[in-house]
Amino acid sequence: MKVKGGMVEEVTDAGCAEGTTVEVRNLFFNTPARLKFMRSIATETGHISDAVTRLALANPSIRFRLYNNGSLTLDTSLKADLKIRISDIFGKDFLKDIIPVEAGDGILRIHGFISKPENAYSAARGLFIYVNNRWIRDRGINHAIVNGYRSVLASSSLGGTGGGRYPFVVLCIIIPSQHIDVNVHPTKCEVRFKNPKSVYELISEAIKAELAHSRVSFFRAYEQKGIMGEVREENIDYGNIIQSVGQDMSFKAGYTYNLPAHQIEPVESAGDIKPLFWSEVEIIGQLWSEYLLCEKGDEFYVIDQHAAAERIAFERLKKSYYINRRVNNQLLLMPQKIELSLQEREALEGSRQTITNLGFDVEPFGGDTFVIRGVPDVLAGIDCRGLIKELLDELISSEISFRIEDRLDEILMRVACHSVIRGSRQLSDGEAKTLLKNLGDVDFSSNCPHGRPIIKAIPKVEIERMFKRR
């Protein structure tokens, strides 16, 4: 069947394998009003691939192939199950990071797969919700999923204005048709449940149960992950941010304190205190291997060593980029392989030059696999596959792959954050001094690139009041 401009032109027999082939050319060629609202080719291609991805996940037994300008961009398995279909679209490595979930009774049932908490996205685009094989958007279900991950995932507000981390979820809800109303949205992408509370509770409790079985602690997560809402990584060196100077002398054991947090209440941020002369600040110890303790005159300072190193790395990256129009990179002795989904590949191709200017050398390796051959020099020795995924995820969710330069600072912030230590680490005396020296050489040294304070000041008078001496 050939249709042109909404009119059927030709209907003939066709010799082909069993199935359906849809070919679209010159969309909206005769409706200029619709055509002028089309976005860039990369963005519209992303919308098409999103639609095909949703259909492919809903129908794993059917094989899907997607071509773009004659090039095969998606090819799924024939008569697959949902797990294999996820592998077809997101890569085989993705399977080790997902957990099956199934719950319900004869009337209401759910099944699908959820990601481990440590493999979350920076945006909510990894949520695929289906009701009776129909893809839907539902704010209540989104919040039920977030509630299931509560205390094991950094705080987020799906559909809201807050930031945070978001899980990957493919969830199929099976419910009798008389218990839902599908006629609440023109595109049929929303439904109304007869008893929404039971649906939300089932989803939330099922996710909690599966995560609990996967050895994720809900009640004592801080012992393994630190305070929830923060991201913790393995301890790594400061790299080029801190270079040991002088004799490498660790702090003595007597200088490490473990004061209860409620006994110290900082009264001012660094933005409110007088400018600091970092060379005059005396380092007196380290707290919990995360904060430097310093004094100068009648003031006592607590410095977040991660936030300080992050600010230094960010300012150096930004200076390097705006002067040279690229970030200095370093070739990897052992290239890192990474599997990308269709949407991620499209985002990479649409922003390849800028990604290269940011110091990343990413090349195709065949099929869905790419290799990272070079990274920014501040990331030398760090596994950058997660960072590449995060950057591409931001491009996809923001639909700005064609104007990535507009958010360059945000991308550099993310690179800087990955390049420095997160978590506990005992600094030598030389490392601590170099950190403060470098901090004094950059702008905005009172806050990290994300706006969090680097330093808190506690005047001597406040400490005297704390001990009832005033």
- What is the arithmetic mean of pLDDT over 108-122? 84
The answer to whether 467 touches 287, Cβ cutoff 8 Å, is no
What span, in angstroms and rounded, lies between the C-alpha atoms of 233 and 170?
27
Which among 215-219, 248-252, 301-305, 378-382 has the top mean pLDDT?
A: 301-305
pLDDT at residue 273, as a whole number:
35
What span, in angstroms and rounded, lies between the C-alpha atoms of 408 and 419?
17
Please say if the pLDDT value at position 367 is more than 80.
yes
pLDDT at residue 101, as a whole number:
94
Share of the chain above pLDDT 90, in %: 17
Domains of the chain: 2-75 (no CATH), 91-225 (3.30.230.10), 233-255+266-470 (3.30.1540.20)
Q: Which two tokens stand for residue 77?
A: 């398995």
- What is the arithmetic mean of pLDDT over 58-81? 90
Q: Which pLDDT band holds residue 270 (cuts at 50, 70, 90)?
A: very low
DSSP string, 326-394: S--EEEEEEEEEEE--HHHHHHHHHTHHHHHHTT-EEEEEETTEEEEEEEEGGGTTS--HHHHHHHHHH
Beta strands in 214-317 (DSSP E): 256-257, 268-269, 282-287, 291-296, 299-304
More confident residue, 311 or 448: 311
- What is the arithmetic mean of pLDDT over 134-143? 90
What span, in angstroms and rounded, lies between the C-alpha atoms of 233 and 426?
15
Q: Which helix (H) or strand (E) holds 66?
A: strand 65-68
Lowest mean pLDDT segment, chosen from 178-192, 378-392, 452-466: 378-392
- Single pTM value for the model: 0.52
- Per-residue pLDDT reduced to its tens digit, 223-243: 333 333 333 333 434 444 444
Q: Tell me, letter by letter, the H, E, C secondary structure of 17-61.
A: CCCCCCCCCCCCCCCHHHHCCCCCHHHHHHHHHHHHHHHHHHCCC
Find all residues with CB under 8 Å of 211, minimum gap 6, and list them.
99, 114, 117, 148, 149, 152, 218
What span, in angstroms and rounded, lies between the C-alpha atoms of 155 and 147?
10
pLDDT at residue 15, as a whole number:
80
- What is the arithmetic mean of pLDDT over 404-408? 54
More confident residue, 86 or 442: 86
Q: Give residue 327's Cα distance to chain centre.
A: 22
Task: Tokens 């492919």: give the residue.
Answer: 56
Q: CA-CA distances (angstroms) from residue 356 to 21, 75, 86, 120, 349?
A: 37, 28, 29, 25, 11
pLDDT at residue 109, as a whole number:
94
More confident residue, 365 or 236: 365
- What is the arithmetic mean of pLDDT over 376-381? 72
Q: Which pLDDT band holds residue 178 (cuts at 50, 70, 90)?
A: very high
pLDDT at residue 279, as a whole number:
67
DSSP string, 448-462: -TTS-BSEEEEEHHH
Residue 195: how many other CB atoms lie within 10 Å: 13
DSSP string, 76-108: PPTT--HHHHHHHHH-GGGGGGEEEEEEE-SSS
Task: Tokens 């005992």: give the residue.
Answer: 426
What span, in angstroms and rounded, lies between the C-alpha atoms of 416 and 15?
56
Lowest mean pLDDT segment, chosen from 171-175, 350-354, 369-373, 379-383: 379-383
- What is the arithmetic mean of pLDDT over 438-445? 70
- What is the arithmetic mean of pLDDT over 319-329? 75
